[in-house]
Amino acid sequence: MIASLVDWPLLGRVVLVAVLAGVGVVVAFSVGLAALSFARDTARPLVVRILGVVVAVVMTGALVGALWWGFELITKKS
Amino acid sequence: MHNTLLLAIVVAVALAFDFTNGFHDTANAVAPTIATGALKPKVAVALSSVFNLVGAFLSLKVAATIASALVAQNLVTLPVIFAGLIGAIAWNVTTWYFAIPSSSSHALIGGVIGAMMVLAGGHAVLWSGLISKVIIPAGLAPLVALVAAGVALIAARRLTAKVDTDTSSFGFRVGQIGSSSLLSIAHGTNDAQKTMGVVTLALIANGTLASNSSTPALVVVSCAIAIGMGTFFGGWRIIRTMGQGFTHLTPQQGFAAQIASSAVILTSSHMGLPLSTTHVATGAIIGVGAATPQQPVRWRLVADVAMAWVVTLPAAGLFGAFSYYVAHVIGGTFGVAVLALVAAAYVTFLMRRSRRHVINAANVNDLWGESLAPLEAATVVAA
């Protein structure tokens, strides 16, 4: 049976981690971009603008971490 | 048994394969970046070639195998390696000519299997390994990427709904520079390592290197340069298919597609289930297109490219089988040299024919179906 040749648990883990990682990075980037946009909007209240800066910084950190994780995966595999 | 001339031919052909691998797969990393205008075409390709080169140098652990777990390794000889490479090059250049993205890895596997079947028959092929490690992942890879990219795009669209268009476009274009670079490094690591393994295996098979030797520095450098140069040559034809053919890409779509591709490729490789970069990148682009009802996907082209993927293994296998058979009939190193010349003539023929419909940095972003309609029709017909 062809189905028995597939490591289904491994495949499931790969799909789950890949989808979560991909969606997670895009979400973090989008949140950071939206936050930055709010921070730059002078029509918004100061609190919102400061919060926007904080969120943008946090998301940038998360993205740097994701990039580092990606780089670690590349070099560790090698 | 030492045969320096045969070894030299095999190494030269391996580097030629690495070069074709570079220009054939450039599109996987840069097509969305170019299509959305995040980078100018030549800048994008130059950046990708640098990162492919860097990625190749990160390939520290090289496995001196070819199609391991797919063919009986004790039967792999220099002529088999040679024929497998010729089969892969022939298929790579053929699909490049017709602007069809296809997997260079599968082409190499197909070429080697074809040669092996002529040498030793079907029992030399590990069919269960082929199904579980190549065929099934080949089918699943684009689907996983499609889902990941589609979901990522929907999330990005909702989260940036209140961001003005100019800021959003600029932000995602900047993001694409990073995602494209990451994909290029990953490709350089994966694919240059493959060719390093083939060259190392050839050196071992010839008795030039002991079986447990590490990969010589010269092999690392030459493979890295070959894939970097191939990337710089720029497979414009395939870049156009991926950047303009499947759907019209916005910066948001391009970013989502490239990040999803990176995540799928890196995760799967790290967890021991390597997937084709081409299949993943194509699936991701189709995924963002499918998640955007206002910009329809050209499903006819998708179906045609999918058919080309199905044909890759047997077609490269036929090329590889033919190469091995002819070289064997002529005999010895002379037979291998003759085949190398025949292959070079075939590649030259296609390169010259490609000048009838030139695609380069200047027209790679032209709208699909307009100035390059005859080539686009040929792409659909050929696939």
Residues of A in Cβ contact (< 8 Å) with B291: none
Q: Can you tell me the distance from the alpha carbon of A36 to that of B315, in angstroms, rounded to the nearest whole number?
A: 51
For the stretch B59-97, pLDDT in tens is 666 666 666 778 877 888 889 999 999 999 999 999 999
Q: Can you tell me the distance from the alpha carbon of B89 to that of B275, in angstroms, rounded to the nearest whole number?
A: 20
Indicate yes or no: CB of B273 within 8 angstroms of CB of A22: no
For residue B304, count CB atoms less than 10 angstroms from its CB and return exposed for 0-12, middle for 13-18, buried for 19 or more.
middle
E strand segments, chain A: none
**B121: region left, alpha or beta (phi > 0 left; psi from -120 to 50 alpha):** left
* For A71, nearest residue in chain B (alpha carbons): B182
* For B152, nearest residue in chain A (alpha carbons): A23
Nearest-CB residue to B151 (from A23, A71, A75): A23
The reported pLDDT for the residue numbered B73 is 78
> Average per-residue pLDDT in chain B?
89
Indicate yes or no: CB of B271 within 8 angstroms of CB of A7: no
- Closest CA of chain A from B346, distance in Å: 35
B12 at interface of A, judged by CB pairs closer than 8 A: no
Measured CA angle at B240 (ends B237, B243), to 5 deg: 150
Q: Assign B240 to helix, strand or coil.
A: helix
DSSP conformational letter for B367: P
Give the residues across from B125 on adjacent strands.
B71
Q: Assign B307 to helix, strand or coil.
A: helix
Query: Does the pLDDT of residue A2 top 70, yes or no?
Result: no
Indicate yes or no: CB of A34 within 8 angstroms of CB of B148: no
B267 at interface of A, judged by CB pairs closer than 8 A: yes
Nearest-CB residue to A22 (from B162, B171, B264): B264
Phi, psi of B197 (to 5 degrees): -65, -40
The reported pLDDT for the residue numbered B383 is 47
Which pTM value belongs to this model? Answer: 0.90
Measured CA angle at B305 (ends B190, B354), to 5 deg: 85
Indicate yes or no: CB of A26 within 8 angstroms of CB of B172: no
The reported pLDDT for the residue numbered A78 is 46
Q: Which of B159, B179, B183, B223 is the mutation pick for testing A, counting most A CBs within 10 A?
A: B159
Q: Residue A10: which of B136, B271, B274, B148 has the closest Cα?
A: B271
Q: Return residues 110-169 of B near A (CB < 8 Å).
A: 128, 131-132, 136, 140, 144, 147-149, 151-153, 155-156, 159-160, 162-164, 167-168
A17 at interface of B, judged by CB pairs closer than 8 A: yes
Residues in chain B: 383
Task: Measure Cα distances from B200 to B78, B194, B207, B208, B316 in Å.
Answer: 11, 10, 11, 9, 22
pLDDT < 70 stretches in chain B: 1, 59-67, 370-383
* For B284, nearest residue in chain A (alpha carbons): A22
For the stretch A19-77, pLDDT in tens is 999 999 999 999 999 999 988 888 888 898 898 899 989 888 888 888 888 878 777 65
B175 at interface of A, judged by CB pairs closer than 8 A: yes
* For A23, nearest residue in chain B (alpha carbons): B152
CB A71 within 8 A of CB B51: no
The reported pLDDT for the residue numbered B61 is 65
Indicate yes or no: CB of A29 within 8 angstroms of CB of B175: yes
CB B301 within 8 A of CB B163: no
Indicate yes or no: CB of B267 within 8 angstroms of CB of A30: no
CB A36 within 8 A of CB B162: no
